[in-house]
């Protein structure tokens, strides 16, 4: 097991009716900016429910933070923060809105000249405006971690922020009843996203972290168990609760401790979103199988363990079990109507591999993956395999 | 799944050489009281190692906090805290020393007339002196939770404190290398303690908390896997690391969220420690099998799930699998040289059941267990079954 540091100070209020905790968690007297996405929270009533608990605050609002939160849009919200001297942010939405709030929290206190440097150089965020979240769409785990990914259309970039203690929400409200109004497509995305988050932290070389492996397998098994039920009926409260908690546990730092992490699937996937606008989760489903097949020599041990414990695949050699596990995972994504080849999403896939490889060279991104050995040339081959 | 609130702010430094984090975590300029147990940390060198990192502090010391930390002893340490205006405590030891530090942290800020009221009435601890820990013996999870249990010899009482945010350590340093010097008897106790902590939160009526169940099973499976290896060789670093992390995860709040909890085994077990001085873990091994057999009707579903997933017992009815799982668990404890009957620990066991039942009546402790239905009369029968 590797050495690790673990601290996660976010307070979770989980369950029915937890919106009523908002006045207990947001300090009295703050100048509060509520940020949200597009129209969905107005259609499903969450917007009104949230506001009914915020009557005592000096409240400002900013809507329009779309999926893959856009730098240019966030700069508009930052203007409000500066002009209105906002000192608390409430994000109401899914991972994109929460990630956007994290960017805003950090940007408001950032002292450098160029805000985008925070992302280019993954500058650790020590100081920020405090913020809380109301999670309306589970997937990214952003409600209980210090990660955020921001999109910049002008340069076709999608880059992660540099973590740091100021990027943890003060609190997150997670009411599984909100899941009832999420479109099936988004739920399928959420399952795929959480599933891949676990894989990125699990499908690496073994370090004898027995409990972490089992926790990963627990999340994967639970996601597999609930996937057909939650897609069939998102209003099934208990299934929704399990789905929601799995997504959080997949990326709140716990399963990452003491083990190496890959994240190469995300690095490549982000490029596909930036270039083609493909849903984040679907880019992961496109890249993951090729990445694992290409790196079968270094991932086969853990893949074979995953095959046996999660998919009950016990026949064959380690290599055979490893390949069978990749096939089985693709089949699972297909069962969610998630295609696992790039050509299913865009007719313009030719050249994607070369373009992504070129970008990684430009950024100096050599040494991806848990062994930091993947080169842009490897990336080119992996993306090509995913066509 | 039940509604829940979750927040655990303790920072963990886990791994080799993490003592060097002490000066980063203890604020400069504090008046620091280091508390520890008996002689073991002086014999194994940890005492000197810790002190080598504390040279810059105004340091006071208090040794002599034994297993089942004693109220009268802690009052002596409290005198030092008051006299020397201590404003940070460092606990170096196992669960007893850490629990003692929690009592001290709370007692120093307690404003009531009678300190023992904190325990009698389980008063929630909102304010206390900040403290950190160096964990030298894994078992109780106290290094990452807000629980503590204090003993009072004069009244033969052993009672839990009332949690509250001030009882979380600021930080805990967990170096698995420290396990090499722990006597095998204590390691067996630690495994048994952690195992039972999981059972108390898992062996209840099902609430559809699928992930929490799997996390519980993960900890149990890992403890079963590593038990013979860590007892054979406590110096095996990786096994020690898994043992240490399992003990923490067994009682840091995570697996408790969204599910009912029993804790009746602990309630009865504490009495056996208070009355006979039996090691805490061993009292749990004594009570657990009788408690589960007595309550087989309400626990059989989860016991059967445990039988199948953890012990691979798949034959028979639910009831048969449930009983087989209890037998298998007792056999596991026996493999650690942990006896599971009271008569193995004391010749004076006659009358224990009546005495414990009487005490519960005196304290008004009706309604134990996850359904709050167990009466003192039930307790009497369970303890009697454990003779």
Structure-token pair, residue B386: 């454990």
Query: What pLDDT score was predicted for residue B51?
Result: 96
Rounded distance between C-alpha atoms, residue B308 and residue B306, angstroms: 5
Query: What pLDDT score was predicted for residue B259?
Result: 97
Residue A361 binned pLDDT confidence (cut-offs 50, 70, 90): very high
Distance to chain A for B346, nearest Cα, Å: 36
3-state helix, strand, coil in chain B (%, to 5): 55, 10, 35
pLDDT in tens, A272-319: 999 999 999 999 999 999 999 999 999 999 999 999 999 999 999 999
Rounded distance between C-alpha atoms, residue B359 and residue B365, angstroms: 8
Interface contact B1, partner A, CB < 8 A: yes
Query: What pLDDT score was predicted for residue A158?
Result: 86
Residue A42 pLDDT greater than 90, yes or no = no
CB B245 within 8 A of CB B14: yes
Burial A85-109 (b: 16+ CB within 10 A, else e): ebbbbbbbbbbbbbbbbbbbbbbbe
Q: Outline where DSSP puts E strands in A69-152.
A: 88-93, 131-135, 149-152
pLDDT in tens, A112-149: 999 999 999 999 999 999 999 999 999 999 999 999 99
| B218–A211 CB contact, under 8 Å | yes
Query: What pLDDT score was predicted for residue B68?
Result: 87
**DSSP letters of A354-377?**
HHHHHHHHHHT--SBTTTT-B-HH
Query: What pLDDT score was predicted for residue B158?
Result: 86
pLDDT in tens, B132-158: 999 999 999 999 999 999 999 999 888
Query: What pLDDT score was predicted for residue B278?
Result: 95
Q: Which residues of A touch B209 (CB under 8 A)?
A: 241-242
**CB-count exposure of residue A112 (10 Å: 0-12, 13-18, 19+):** exposed
Residue B351: C-alpha distances to residues A163, B112, B272, B377, B378 (Å):
59, 36, 12, 14, 15
For chain B, the distance separating the N- and C-terminal CA atoms, rounded to the nearest angstrom, is 36
Q: Which residues of B touch A17 (CB under 8 A)?
A: 3
Q: Which residues of B touch A12 (CB under 8 A)?
A: 4-7
Across chain A, mean pLDDT equals 96
Q: Which of A14, A211, A241 sits opposite B245 (nearest CB)?
A: A211
| B2–A16 CB contact, under 8 Å | no
Interface contact B362, partner A, CB < 8 A: no
Q: Which residues of chain B have pLDDT under 50?
A: none
Rounded distance between C-alpha atoms, residue B288 and residue B269, angstroms: 9
Q: Which of B14, B214, B238 sits opposite A6 (nearest CB)?
A: B14
Query: What pLDDT score was predicted for residue A156?
Result: 86
| Cα diameter, chain A | 64
The interface pTM score, or ipTM, of the predicted complex is 0.96
Interface contact B16, partner A, CB < 8 A: yes
Rounded distance between C-alpha atoms, residue B206 and residue A92, angstroms: 32
| A209–B242 CB contact, under 8 Å | yes
A11: left (phi over 0), alpha (psi -120 to 50) or beta: beta
**CB-count exposure of residue B225 (10 Å: 0-12, 13-18, 19+):** middle
pLDDT in tens, A203-229: 999 999 999 999 999 999 999 999 999
Residue A162 binned pLDDT confidence (cut-offs 50, 70, 90): confident
Interface contact A208, partner B, CB < 8 A: yes
Q: Which of B3, B249, B258 sits opposite A211 (nearest CB)?
A: B249
Query: If you measure CA to CA, which chain B residue comes closest to A208?
Result: B238
Interface of A with B in 171-190 (CB under 8 A): 176
The whole-model pTM stands at: 0.97
Q: Which of A6, A215, A217 sits opposite B12 (nearest CB)?
A: A6
Residue A41 binned pLDDT confidence (cut-offs 50, 70, 90): confident
| A245–B218 CB contact, under 8 Å | no
| B208–A238 CB contact, under 8 Å | yes
Distance to chain A for B157, nearest Cα, Å: 34
| B211–A222 CB contact, under 8 Å | yes
Interface of A with B in 230-249 (CB under 8 A): 238, 241-242, 245-246, 249
CB B7 within 8 A of CB A9: yes
Interface contact A5, partner B, CB < 8 A: yes
Burial A296-313 (b: 16+ CB within 10 A, else e): eebbbbbbbbbbebbbeb
């Amino acid at each position: 097991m590797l050495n690790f540091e673990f601290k996660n100070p976010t307070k979770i209020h989980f369950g029915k009716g937890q919106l009523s905790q908002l006045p207990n968690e947001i300090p009295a007297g703050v100048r509060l900016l509520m940020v949200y996405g597009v129209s969905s929270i107005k259609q499903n009533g969450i917007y009104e429910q949230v506001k009914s608990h915020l009557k005592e605050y000096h409240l400002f609002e900013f809507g329009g933070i779309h999926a893959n939160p856009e730098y240019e849009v966030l700069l508009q919200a930052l203007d409000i923060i500066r002009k209105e001297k906002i000192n608390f942010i409430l994000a109401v939405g899914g991972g994109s809105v929460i990630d956007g709030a994290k960017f805003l929290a950090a940007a408001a206190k950032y002292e450098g000249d160029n805000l985008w440097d925070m992302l280019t150089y993954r500058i650790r965020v020590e100081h920020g405006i405090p913020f809380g979240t109301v999670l309306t769409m589970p997937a990214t785990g952003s409600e209980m971690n210090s990660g955020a990914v921001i999109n910049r259309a002008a340069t076709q970039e999608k880059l992660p922020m540099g973590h740091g203690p100021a990027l943890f929400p003060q609190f997150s409200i997670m009411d599984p009843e909100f899941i009832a109004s999420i479109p099936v497509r988004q739920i399928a995305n959420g399952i795929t996203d959480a599933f891949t988050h676990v894989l990125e932290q699990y499908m690496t070389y073994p370090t004898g972290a027995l409990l972490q492996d089992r926790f990963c397998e627990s999340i994967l098994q639970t996601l597999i168990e609930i996937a057909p039920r939650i897609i069939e009926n998102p209003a099934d409260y208990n299934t929704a609760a399990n789905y929601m908690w799995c997504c959080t546990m997949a990326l709140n730092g716990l399963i990452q401790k003491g083990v190496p992490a890959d994240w190469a699937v995300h690095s490549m996937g982000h490029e596909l979103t930036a270039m083609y606008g493909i849903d984040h989760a679907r880019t992961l489903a496109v890249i993951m199988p090729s990445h694992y097949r290409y790196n079968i020599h270094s991932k086969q041990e853990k893949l074979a363990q995953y095959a046996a414990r999660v998919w009950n695949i016990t026949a064959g050699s380690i290599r055979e079990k490893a390949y069978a596990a990749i096939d089985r995972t693709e089949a699972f994504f297909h069962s969610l109507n998630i295609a696992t080849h790039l050509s299913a999403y865009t007719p313009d896939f030719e050249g994607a591999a070369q373009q992504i490889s070129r970008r990684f060279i430009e950024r100096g991104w050599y040494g991806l993956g848990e062994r930091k050995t993947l080169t842009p040339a490897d990336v080119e081959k992996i993306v090509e395999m995913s066509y």
